[in-house]
Amino acid sequence: MRILIALTLLIGSSTAFAATQCTTAEKSTWQDQGKFQQQLKEQGYKINKFKVTKGNCYEIYGFDKDGRKVEIYHDPVSGKAVKTEYHD
């Protein structure tokens, strides 16, 4: 019984910390980081932090065009938002 509980906890904890995966494409096919950020700014986003994640995403922290605090994971090839989180 203890082994079953331990395995359940182990499996559950590994999925809880799984990174958002955006692409498996070669980095040579990704959009230029600077140009991508500039496009977002032209759409009204304010970027406080920009990074490339372990899941091969362009991740931004900042504010959307409506002034809401956001964290957004983008596919660096297509530029599409893969995951968006709004924060208070």
Question: Is residue 14 domain-resident?
Answer: no
Query: How far is the C-alpha of 36 from the C-alpha of 40, rounded, in Å?
Result: 6
Asked if 64 and 29 touch (Cβ cutoff 8 Å), the reply is: no
Question: Is residue 40 domain-resident?
Answer: yes
**The residue to which tokens 């991508």 are assigned:** 36
C-alpha neighbours within 13 Å on the C-beta side of residue 26: 2
Question: Is residue 67 domain-resident?
Answer: yes
Please say if the pLDDT value at position 52 is more than 60: yes
Q: How confident is the model at residue 26 (pLDDT cuts 50, 70, 90)?
A: very high
Q: What's this model's pTM, rounded to 2 decimal places?
A: 0.78
Question: Is residue 7 domain-resident?
Answer: no
Question: Is residue 69 domain-resident?
Answer: yes
Query: How far is the C-alpha of 16 from the C-alpha of 13, rounded, in Å?
Result: 5
pLDDT confidence of residue 72:
97
CATH number of the domain that 65 lies in?
Answer: 3.10.450
Domain of 39 in residue numbering reads as 20-87
Mean pLDDT of the 38-50 span: 97
Domains held by the chain: number: 1
Question: Is residue 47 domain-resident?
Answer: yes
Question: Is residue 8 domain-resident?
Answer: no
Please say if the pLDDT value at position 8 is more than 80: no
